[in-house]
Structure 1
Amino acid sequence: MKWAFILGLCFILFGVHIFAAVALAKTQKLAKNGFFRLAFFLIISDACLMIEYAWHTIVMNTNDFYTHGGHQDQCLVLVHFIPAAIQSSLLMTILMCLQRLNATFRTPKQMLKILTSDIAIGLGFLFSHIYFLVRGVLEFLDKIQRVEFPCGPKYKTQKRFLLFVDVPNALFVAMIAFCYVVVILRIIRNRRQVNVIGNLSNLQLQQKNKAVLRMRYNMITLTSIIIVTAVSILPRTLYGLYANFTDTINEEIVRATNNLLLLNPLVDPFIYIFRIKEVRRQLICRCWQTSRTALATTAIRPVNATISGSMSYVPKQHTTTTTSN
Structure 2
Amino acid sequence: MVIVVKILNCGIVTILLLLHGLSLYILNFSKELNHSPFLVLALYVSLSDITLGLEFLYHNVLRFMNSQSAPFQYQYMAIRYLTCGTYLWSLMQTLLICIERLNAILITKKGILVYLTSNKCVVLCFILSLFIALLMFGVETIGGPVQPDPKNTATPLIVFSFDILNLCITVSIISVYVVVVNRIFHAQRNVQTSGLTASQSAKKTRDTKKMRKNVITLGMIIALVLVAFLLRSFAVLYLYTVNEYEIDDIVFIICNNVFLLLNPLLDPVIYILRIKNFRDHLRCKCIRNNSVSHSNA
Partners of 1:166 and 1:236 within 8 A in 2:
no
Provide the secondary structure at the position in 2 that maps to 1:197. Answer: coil
Distance in 2 (alpha carbons) for counterparts of 1:239 and 1:99: 32
Residues 155-212 of structure 1 deviation map (CA, whole Å, 9 limit, x = unaligned)? 2222222122222212222211111111110111111111x21111122212211211
Q: With the length of structure 1 as denominator, give the TM-score of the two structures.
A: 0.83
Q: 1:156 to 1:5 in 2, by over 3 A?
A: closer
Q: Are residues 1:78 and 2:75 paired?
A: no
After superposition, where does 1:200-279 map in structure 2 within 5 Å? Answer: 200-249=196-245, 250=247, 251-257=249-255, 258-279=257-278
Partners of 2:19 and 2:265 within 8 A in 1:
no
Of 129, 152, 155, 2:152 maps to 155
Query: How many residue pairs end up in the alignment?
Result: 291
Match of 1:311 in 2: none
Match of 2:52 in 1: 49
Match of 1:315 in 2: none
Distance in 2 (alpha carbons) for counterparts of 1:153 and 1:24: 35
1:127 Cα offset (Å): 0.8
Partners of 1:11 and 1:51 within 8 A in 2:
no
Q: Are residues 1:180 and 2:181 paired?
A: no
Residues 269-297 of structure 1 deviation map (CA, whole Å, 9 limit, x = unaligned)? 11112222222112212333345556667
Partners of 2:74 and 2:146 within 8 A in 1:
no
Residues 36-72 of structure 1 deviation map (CA, whole Å, 9 limit, x = unaligned)? 11001000000011111000011112206xx453221
Provide the secondary structure at the position in 1 that maps to 2:207. Answer: helix
Match of 1:320 in 2: none
Residues 91-147 of structure 1 deviation map (CA, whole Å, 9 limit, x = unaligned)? 11000000101111111122211211221111111111111111111212332xxxx
Provide the secondary structure at the position in 2 that maps to 1:198. Answer: coil
1:89 Cα offset (Å): 0.8
Distance in 1 (alpha carbons) for counterparts of 2:34 and 2:261: 29
Distance in 1 (alpha carbons) for counterparts of 2:69 and 2:237: 28
Q: 1:24 to 1:181 in 2, by over 3 A?
A: same
Q: Which amino acid aligns with 1:175?
A: S
Of 18, 24, 27, 1:24 maps to 27
The structure richer in helix per residue is 2
Q: Which amino acid aligns with 1:289?
A: R
5+ residue gaps, structure 2, are none
Provide the aligned C-alpha RMSD in A.
Answer: 2.0
Partners of 1:95 and 1:115 within 8 A in 2:
yes
Q: 1:5 to 1:246 in 2, by over 3 A?
A: closer
Q: With the length of structure 2 as denominator, give the TM-score of the two structures.
A: 0.91
Q: Are residues 1:198 and 2:197 paired?
A: no
Distance in 2 (alpha carbons) for counterparts of 1:40 and 1:201: 36
Partners of 2:27 and 2:34 within 8 A in 1:
no
Partners of 1:167 and 1:237 within 8 A in 2:
no
After superposition, where does 1:15-164 map in structure 2 within 5 Å? Answer: 15-29=18-32, 32-63=35-66, 67-143=68-144, 149-164=146-161
Q: Are residues 1:167 and 2:133 paired?
A: no
Provide the secondary structure at the position in 1 that maps to 2:173. Answer: helix
Distance in 1 (alpha carbons) for counterparts of 2:202 and 2:233: 46
Match of 2:281 in 1: 282
Q: Give identity over the alignment, percent.
A: 29
Q: Which has the larger radius of gyration?
A: 1
1:30 Cα offset (Å): 5.8
Q: Which amino acid aligns with 2:161?
A: F
Higher relative contact order (Cα pairs below 8 Å, separated by 6+ residues): 2
Partners of 2:98 and 2:218 within 8 A in 1:
yes
Distance in 2 (alpha carbons) for counterparts of 1:137 and 1:231: 30
Distance in 2 (alpha carbons) for counterparts of 1:279 and 1:104: 22
Partners of 1:52 and 1:78 within 8 A in 2:
yes
Partners of 2:28 and 2:34 within 8 A in 1:
no
